[in-house]
Structure 1
Amino acid sequence: MASTSGYLLLSFVSCYFALLAAGQMTHPSEVTALQAIRRKLKDPLRNLRNWKKNDPCVSHWIGVNCDFYPSDGFLHVKELRLLNKNLSGILAPELGQLSHMEILDFMWNNISGSIPKEIGNITSLQLLLLSGNQISGPLPDELGFLPNLTKFQLDLNYISGPLPKSFANLPSVKHFHMNNNSISGQIPPELSALPLLIHFLLDNNNLSGYLPPELSKMPSLKILQLDNNNFGMSEIPASYGNMSKLLKLSLRNCNLQGTVPDLSGIPGLLYLDLSQNQLTGSIPPSKLSVSITTIDLSNNTINGSIPSSFSGLPRLQNLSLQNNLLSGFIPSTIWKNMTFSKDAKLKLDFQNNLLSDISGSLDPPSNVTILLQGNPVCARGNQLNISRFCGPGNEEEAPEIPSNSNNSCPPQACPVSNNFQYVPESCFCAAPLGVGLRLRSPSISDFVPYRGQFEVYITSNLHLELYQLSIDSFQWQKGPRLRMYLKIFPQYSNDSSTFNISEIQRITDIFAKFSIPSNDTFGPYDLLNFTLLGPYSNVFLPPLKTGLSKGAVAGIVLGSISCAITLILAITLVFWKKLSLPRYQPKVSKDQSISKIPVKMEGVKGFGFKELEMATSSFSIATQVGHGGYGNVYKGILTDGTVVAIKRAQQGSLQGAEFYTEIELLSRLHHRNLVSLVGYCNEEGEQMLVYEFMPNGSLHDHLSAKFRETLSFERRLNIALGAAKGILYLHTEADPPVIHRDIKANNILLDSKFTAKVSDFGISKLAPVTDTKGFETADMLTAVKGTPGYLDPEYLLTHRLTEKSDVYSIGIVFLELLTGMRPISHGRNIVHEVNAACQSGLMFSIIDRNMGPYPSECIKRFMALALKCSQDKTDARPTMLEVVRELENLVSELPESDTFQLELNASSSGISGSATSSVYVKKSPYVSTDFPGSDLVSGVIPTIRPR
């Protein structure tokens, strides 16, 4: 047998070298490095579960892209992209062993610790992307010796210490994004030697010292953004007026003094912000670039008059000079030569100066806003006919993108429940790919006039048609930065209304590799997330793309054939040797469980496959009561007569560890308003969860008239209270707390007494940890999952999951209870429809007519609560505790059964036409307000009743 073992060993060794020669093996040191990297990262979502395999490139490790290098005959890691995977832990020094890596992307995770100096060994590195983590400590000097680095993106971390002078040795770097950290000390003048740098963003740090005049020598610099630092009464170097390529100069709140420099020598300047400093003197009379969109010199001590050079700037959107010492005339010619497009606007803010008169008449077009409050000229407001400009200036809300839905399209032709939507301006129904972007330093103040230009910019670089892009929403953030959510639709085709995998890979690769060239108007962008819903929900990004040459592929085939022949010969020899030996093989029962549950969990029973098969008559179609993303649901009767609901997973839907993790989580959740887990089955390749059976089905069934019995208002209110209590338990009393993530009418089940019970925790998330004062210590950044129509819009946009995401979803359920409407119907959103009706005084016209009589005051307060829960902004929504309190108040205030009814006519109820509605009338013992209510929780706050 020794000779046989030796022959086998020789066979495997020869096989290894055959494959090695073919180039199919990943370099051993890189395999070891990746395993070390994985061990030091924490991954609650199990994104890295495949990293246990021995050969990452061949085994398709998620996030690892490789290429074949003929120089040594190995596969090497080319890209390590783990964007937005909810990873924590630290970065391993072993990253430095990935010597051929070009892209290192760990953006938007929760990684802490410091940046390993060993990354400086990766001379091939082109993109170093670590934005949006919790990385701390100083910047290693070794990072200054990366000859191919083009994008250096470390913003939104906790990096401290000085900027290393070694960074002046980065000959290829174009993007230097380190804003929103704690970097301190002097900006090294040596950085002026960077020949290709175009974006220098260091705003929101602790920089001090002086502004180096040498920065004006950067030959390619387009954006210099250093807001919110402290340059210790430094002056703005006059040499900055000679930066011929500069597009944006932003030095807001930098503790600068001296005068405003003459910047007329910058021919393409688009954006100037020198606000919130201590600048003195007058504004230079020289004319700025005719392309400029924004001039902000507010909150200084600038004196003199407003120069006439501010006239004749055709692209100007915002001129802010408020809170200075400007005197003399208010110019009335700034807009005279401007041709305003439909959406273009101009804002002139001259508030709180010493302006005493006007030059000519002040009669601007409707596109122009003038603010003059706090000037002596306002004392003569009526005399000069300018009183309308002397009131308080209101901050403008971010404009709302109009809906692209085409109401002329045939109803119900587009299955919106699976994230299919009508392509804008057509009735072609398709599933879009969602992309979250942020323009980190745009050179405009108002996006609306540039929307069309932006759409052309994106689609041309993605090689798409213009109709394939829809800007779903946008929002200005501090910086200012512009966050937006894009929907990209497949090309019109009769054959398919979805993207194929290769097209998804192509589009996402362009965004993720920052292959879209920088635009002067829109500046650099951040990739925040990809949203893959509906038919794309199982697509993993980024996909593996192992670059093998044709020669390598041929070598792999030949090596594999050689290996196969060798192994066949070896195995034949082994069997021939063993033929005469006695053998004993223990019999394995078919009924034996594939894997036993690793820990005993109280109250959860392990069922055999045959037991559940018998309970459901061999999973007969007659016993099937539902179907979901997990699989089919069957009604079963156990041998002891207990009626249960059995969720039978689709084959291979969960790995064994995942399955037991779900069971372990569910076993700890016990509440009268949660569906209880009875047991599980993990045999014969089957994974099943056994729950208590809910004879009255789901809330969705009743609202869609599947059951004949209608729900009264009292029953609806109690269902709402029960569901809210279940969710409150998940948020505050479950150990650990849980965010459900998929609250909807289908997941609220009703027992024999119509007690509401929340179900389906298949995509639940553990909630962020809270400190001792009850505040969240961190948001949860995660891939978007849930049901369209119920999804929190902020979660959809930012991927930041909080308990308020569940509050939004339950608010949609409340609106369903009140109106009987679906969350999305014929392209219309329930929140928009209800808001429009309430604001028009027609609230009672949309109340579900199947509800029967109802008390009008309770309806008003319930509607106010529902709309408050479904606010777009997270901070505007109540907590689940406040929701439960208000619902308990409403239940306690329901009229007695003998309360008389009153017919309410259309004029008093706001119902259009001649429709009437029966309502109960009773004097409420609590203080209430007209709709919408001013407070969600009334003055009397009862103790939450025991569950």
Structure 2
Amino acid sequence: MPKIFLSIVTLVLVFPSNLFVYGAPTTDPTEVNALKVIRNSLYDPMNKLKNWNKGDPCTTNWTGIYCQMESNDNYLHITEIQLFKMNLSGTLSPQLSSLSHLKILDFMWNNISGPIPKEIGSITSLKLILLNGNQLSSYLPAEIGNLPSLNRLQIDQNQISGPIPTSFMNLTSVKHLHMNNNSLSGQIPAELSKLPRLLHLLVDNNNLSGHLPQEFSEMPSIKILQFDNNNFGGTSIPPSYANISTLLKLSVRNCSLEGSVPDMTQIPQLGFIDLSWNQLTGPLPTHKFSTNITTIDVSHNKLNGTIPDFSGLPNLQLLALEDNFFEGSVPPNIWDNTTYSANKSLVLDFQNNSLTNVPANFDPPANVSVLLSGNPLCSNTTLSTPVGSCQFQSITKASGSEQTSVNCQPCPTDRNYEYNPSSTLTCFCAVPLGIGMRLKSPGISDFRPYKTAFEKDLTGLLNLYVYQLYIENYIWETGPRLNMQLKLFPSNTSIFSVNEIVRVRRMLAGWEITLLDIFGPYELLNFTLGSYANDLPKSSGSGLSTGAIAGIAIGAVAVATAVSILATMFILKRRWRYTTMSKRSSLSRFSIKIDGVRCFTFEEMAKATKNFNESSIVGQGGYGKVYKGVLDDGTVVAVKRAHEESLQGSKEFCTEIELLSRLHHRNLVSLVGYCDELDEQMLVYEFMPNGTLRDHLSVKCKEPLNFNTRLHIALGSSKGILYLHTEANPPIFHRDIKASNILLDSKFVPKVADFGLSRLAPLPDIEGTLPGHVSTVVKGTPGYLDPEYFLTHKLTDKSDVYSLGVVFLELLTGMRPIAHGKNIVREVTLKCQSGNTLEIVDSRMESYPIECIKRFLSLALRCCQDETDLRPSMSEVVRELEVIWRMMPDTYSLTTADSSDVDPNLKMTHSTSSASSVMGNTFLSSNEMSSENTESGLHNVTPR
């Protein structure tokens, strides 16, 4: 073999060296494979990615893929994924990490769910992570802090929870952290103050708590701090914020802050300050703000004293002091030396204070509105100067269209032609591009005076003429944020060229422009092509750099010859290596390293379980025994130790651990670690002190569960399984749901466990079609097995629904799935059909609401239908259980369960639904109950 190998190498070496240099470049094969995996994790109902299985990603222009040539390996590498607003759902694949040259990751405004893969923290070339406007959940990966080139992180408008990682302090290139409108919690890390280039920190509308870090005063570049609608209760605004010389905007509305207002009047460029809806006390600073100031809002606090002199502020648009304890006189002449017009106004909101006087000659000019209602002076009829604005006035910030009316002949109808209202060529027909843009944190309260500046700024940045931009309408949204619908018209021609369209979109979507500071950061909401869609290549949105295109080409025959030789060499070499290695042992262990999961030694496990003492055993199954253990740090764990017959191969064991490490849900048991040495395989879980659900349904249980707790367990278990089906990455079919695999913590919060038989759910194929099942050998527990799965070997999400339905029947009856040769599903069905419904209800519950029992039983039987299509989905199961929970009377409380596990909104209203409203078919009717029981809605049972 070595001689053959040497001959082939010699043959290759005699070929001209430029044989490979002039070959047509292709995409790195590793990246091609990664894109296919990424595609399979997405659901594409509009078939936008239909060309992702045709040809080479870079040379055949896969949708949303941009590439560049790297000179060091002659491969094309993927540098951008731009899949903006394509109606995609599914999840983000960890395989993104294989795109090692990626600079822009853009999935904005889709419906993608699940977690942000921690693996993207290894793509050190990333500059933009744009994931806003999806349904992403779980925690922010700390690994994102490993990205040295990251400029912008946009994850706003998702469902991301947990803390902001302190590792973000390492993002030395980041300028924009947009994390608003999520469910982030905990303290804002003071370490973020170390970010040398950070301009905008937007974390409003989260669940953050603790205090505002005083260290932020040390930020060298920060311009916008936006913290609105969080809970920093009992803390104050750090006085050190008055030293942030670069600050343009501070917004801490509705944050439960206390203490005094720091004197920020000496910050040279400060233009917007919103401290409203807090518990601030004391007087306002008496020094004058910067002349850049447009907005001062300290309304709805407990401020007192007199109103300082706010004159000499030519750009002031809003001074809101409403609902405080200010006293004395209304300040005169705030509007001095400022000219107000139709497009420039000032609102002075002094309502609901203790003002007692208006100065002589108090005469606000036109477009200056003074709101004084709710002050003592409004009831003072002896004032020499009449006050006409004591009544509340509705002040509207201009929104909507400014369309002009012109008399022109109709435009052609073969395209979306329009007249450009901004052009001097009034009746010139052209085809515009539609752009939706939102200013996320503007430093103004009224856009009208800044409209011209915005038009000049945006068109200048895009290298367009001002008349090419028409602002169709704009509207203020909660935030405040400014939503704008724009139209761009071609310059003195009827249509844009394709190159011009691509250029403009790339500049906007790639954040290659930065608006003036007064407008703050923007986000692209839509880029509407209209009839231009037919002009662009069918796979538009992709492209190669000029250098890459120049490198495509010459010498295809030579390359084919070279590839053939190399392939032959590779095959022969591989066969020689395989023959040699097959003589060695193939049983070597795999090394597993997974973040957040500990690798324990056998000695640590033996010590934790008192050398696997029999007294430590808390359970036993087909896999092996489960021991209660205590780690060195005092953590109590459950150690699941496989007996010899259950030992898995190393690959299978690794796969199971990797699978478990990805599951993070309150209703799923957490994996703490594992042990894999000395012919031992152990999984280490969080310890569940209340054991299994089966234990508490057993006739031997001394304290039976009440109905409320049983319903609580059913709802929590369902949410855990729904997470497996829809949000786990990748989705999972459990395949062994049963009462003994539902564990209960100290507060009876249910947690689904034992994923030894679980299978990955099918993912959409390349055409976006979702396979309906996984074909597999039948495994599971008798009594819980889906009959259709048993017969066809086709595992579906409805197989888990069936098993869960059996658990619901156990909760209702206390029976086992199979006992004395009788099947629980058949027995309950027969009892209901014969009208003996009450006989099946577990008498140990003693009392329960009849309507809730009826709906719960109906749901359980629907889950246990023989035909898959007749069963509800897991999302329907969760929804119905939430309805039943709302129906529960207030007299029923969670005596043994943790009420915090239940969404508090579910108990805000109670339903008194009749039997006719029961979901699906039911075997229960009102004539089965006695009249007195029906009237009360409760049923009391004397224990048998």
**TM-score scaled by structure 1?**
0.57
Distance 1:133 1:554, change over 3 A: closer
Q: After TM superposition, list the pairs within 5 Å mapping 1:683-694 onto structure 2.
A: none
Whole-Å separation in 2 of the counterparts to 1:185 and 1:300:
25
Could you tell me which amino acid in structure 2 is paired with residue 508 of structure 1?
R
Partner-residue secondary structure (3-state), 1:149 = coil
Whole-Å separation in 2 of the counterparts to 1:565 and 1:354:
91
Pairwise CA distance, 1:394: 2.1
Whole-Å separation in 2 of the counterparts to 1:772 and 1:166:
38
Whole-Å separation in 1 of the counterparts to 2:328 and 2:876:
58
1:354 aligns to what? 354
2:830 aligns to what? none
Tell me whether 1:427 sits opposite 2:427 in the alignment: yes
2:250 aligns to what? 249
Partner-residue secondary structure (3-state), 1:33 = helix
1:205 aligns to what? 206
Alpha carbons 2:411, 2:418 under 8 Å: kept = no
Whole-Å separation in 1 of the counterparts to 2:550 and 2:769:
43
Could you tell me which amino acid in structure 1 is paired with residue 470 of structure 2?
S
Partner-residue secondary structure (3-state), 1:451 = helix
Tell me whether 1:557 sits opposite 2:553 in the alignment: yes
Could you tell me which amino acid in structure 2 is paired with residue 327 of structure 1?
E
- For residues 580-608 of structure 1, the C-alpha deviation after alignment (integer angstroms, 9 at most, x for no partner) is xxxxxxxxxxxxxxxxxxxxxxxxxxxxx
Whole-Å separation in 2 of the counterparts to 1:100 and 1:400:
43
1:506 aligns to what? 503
Distance 1:146 1:535, change over 3 A: closer
Whole-Å separation in 1 of the counterparts to 2:160 and 2:450:
35
Alpha carbons 2:45, 2:87 under 8 Å: kept = yes
Could you tell me which amino acid in structure 1 is paired with residue 513 of structure 2?
I
Pairwise CA distance, 1:229: 0.6
Q: After TM superposition, list the pairs within 5 Å mapping 1:913-924 onto structure 2.
A: none
Stretch deviating more after TM superposition (377-386 or 274-283) = 377-386
Stretch deviating more after TM superposition (18-27 or 441-450) = 18-27
Alpha carbons 1:420, 1:534 under 8 Å: kept = no
Whole-Å separation in 1 of the counterparts to 2:185 and 2:553:
56
Pairwise CA distance, 1:18: 5.8
1:53 aligns to what? 54
Partner-residue secondary structure (3-state), 2:327 = strand
Alpha carbons 1:126, 1:149 under 8 Å: kept = yes
Whole-Å separation in 1 of the counterparts to 2:768 and 2:525:
30
Pairwise CA distance, 1:416: 8.7
Alpha carbons 1:68, 1:547 under 8 Å: kept = yes
Q: After TM superposition, list the pairs within 5 Å mapping 1:651-730 onto structure 2.
A: none
Pairwise CA distance, 1:427: 1.9
Could you tell me which amino acid in structure 1 is paired with residue 416 of structure 2?
N
Pairwise CA distance, 1:265: 1.9
Alpha carbons 2:304, 2:325 under 8 Å: kept = yes
Could you tell me which amino acid in structure 2 is paired with residue 558 of structure 1?
I
2:315 aligns to what? 315
Whole-Å separation in 1 of the counterparts to 2:305 and 2:254:
22
- For residues 451-506 of structure 1, the C-alpha deviation after alignment (integer angstroms, 9 at most, x for no partner) is 0000000000011111100001101001000000110000103xxx1001100000
Distance 1:364 1:342, change over 3 A: same
Unaligned runs of 5+ in 1: 1-6, 569-656, 662-767, 776-947
Could you tell me which amino acid in structure 1 is paired with residue 542 of structure 2?
L
1:329 aligns to what? 329
Alpha carbons 1:26, 1:55 under 8 Å: kept = yes
Distance 1:403 1:554, change over 3 A: closer
Whole-Å separation in 2 of the counterparts to 1:384 and 1:545:
74
Distance 1:449 1:381, change over 3 A: farther
1:42 aligns to what? 43
Distance 1:42 1:520, change over 3 A: same
1:490 aligns to what? 490
Alpha carbons 2:353, 2:375 under 8 Å: kept = yes
Alpha carbons 2:58, 2:65 under 8 Å: kept = yes
Q: After TM superposition, list the pairs within 5 Å mapping 1:126-137 onto structure 2.
A: 126-137=127-138
Pairwise CA distance, 1:419: 3.6
Pairwise CA distance, 1:380: 2.0
Whole-Å separation in 2 of the counterparts to 1:102 and 1:472:
33
2:402 aligns to what? 402
Tell me whether 1:305 sits opposite 2:297 in the alignment: no
Pairwise CA distance, 1:566: 9.6
Q: After TM superposition, list the pairs within 5 Å mapping 1:168-179 onto structure 2.
A: 168-179=169-180
2:543 aligns to what? 545
Pairwise CA distance, 1:770: 14
Whole-Å separation in 2 of the counterparts to 1:454 and 1:263:
27
Could you tell me which amino acid in structure 2 is paired with residue 545 of structure 1?
G
Distance 1:345 1:70, change over 3 A: same
- For residues 893-924 of structure 1, the C-alpha deviation after alignment (integer angstroms, 9 at most, x for no partner) is xxxxxxxxxxxxxxxxxxxxxxxxxxxxxxxx
Partner-residue secondary structure (3-state), 2:554 = helix
Pairwise CA distance, 1:420: 3.2
Partner-residue secondary structure (3-state), 1:47 = coil
Whole-Å separation in 2 of the counterparts to 1:18 and 1:770:
63
Alpha carbons 1:423, 1:489 under 8 Å: kept = no
Pairwise CA distance, 1:339: 1.9
2:615 aligns to what? none
Aligned structure 1 segments of 4 or more residues deviating by more than 6 angstroms: 564-568, 657-661, 768-773
RMSD of equivalent CA atoms: 3.2
Whole-Å separation in 1 of the counterparts to 2:490 and 2:363:
48
Pairwise CA distance, 1:535: 3.8
Whole-Å separation in 1 of the counterparts to 2:375 and 2:71:
74
Could you tell me which amino acid in structure 2 is paired with residue 509 of structure 1?
R
Partner-residue secondary structure (3-state), 1:295 = strand
1:848 aligns to what? none
Alpha carbons 1:474, 1:482 under 8 Å: kept = yes
Whole-Å separation in 2 of the counterparts to 1:304 and 1:458:
44
Q: After TM superposition, list the pairs within 5 Å mapping 1:151-170 onto structure 2.
A: 151-170=152-171
Distance 1:147 1:23, change over 3 A: farther
Could you tell me which amino acid in structure 2 is paired with residue 158 of structure 1?
Q
Whole-Å separation in 2 of the counterparts to 1:161 and 1:487:
40
Whole-Å separation in 1 of the counterparts to 2:382 and 2:88:
63
Could you tell me which amino acid in structure 2 is paired with residue 462 of structure 1?
L
Partner-residue secondary structure (3-state), 2:519 = coil
Whole-Å separation in 1 of the counterparts to 2:116 and 2:22:
36
2:235 aligns to what? 234
1:515 aligns to what? 512
Alpha carbons 1:22, 1:73 under 8 Å: kept = no
1:149 aligns to what? 150
Whole-Å separation in 2 of the counterparts to 1:447 and 1:416:
36
Alpha carbons 1:81, 1:542 under 8 Å: kept = no
Distance 1:318 1:771, change over 3 A: farther
Distance 1:417 1:492, change over 3 A: closer
Could you tell me which amino acid in structure 2 is paired with residue 412 of structure 1?
P
Alpha carbons 1:40, 1:89 under 8 Å: kept = yes
Could you tell me which amino acid in structure 2 is paired with residue 498 of structure 1?
I
- For residues 248-276 of structure 1, the C-alpha deviation after alignment (integer angstroms, 9 at most, x for no partner) is 00010111000011002200000000000
Pairwise CA distance, 1:392: 2.3
Distance 1:354 1:541, change over 3 A: farther
Distance 1:530 1:413, change over 3 A: closer
Stretch deviating more after TM superposition (431-440 or 383-392) = 383-392
Alpha carbons 1:381, 1:387 under 8 Å: kept = no
**TM-score scaled by structure 2?**
0.57
Tell me whether 1:375 sits opposite 2:372 in the alignment: no
Alpha carbons 1:405, 1:422 under 8 Å: kept = no
- For residues 17-67 of structure 1, the C-alpha deviation after alignment (integer angstroms, 9 at most, x for no partner) is 967863611111101110000000001001111111252111210000011
Partner-residue secondary structure (3-state), 2:299 = coil
Distance 1:416 1:231, change over 3 A: farther
Distance 1:443 1:770, change over 3 A: farther
Whole-Å separation in 1 of the counterparts to 2:338 and 2:157:
39
Percent identical among aligned pairs is: 50
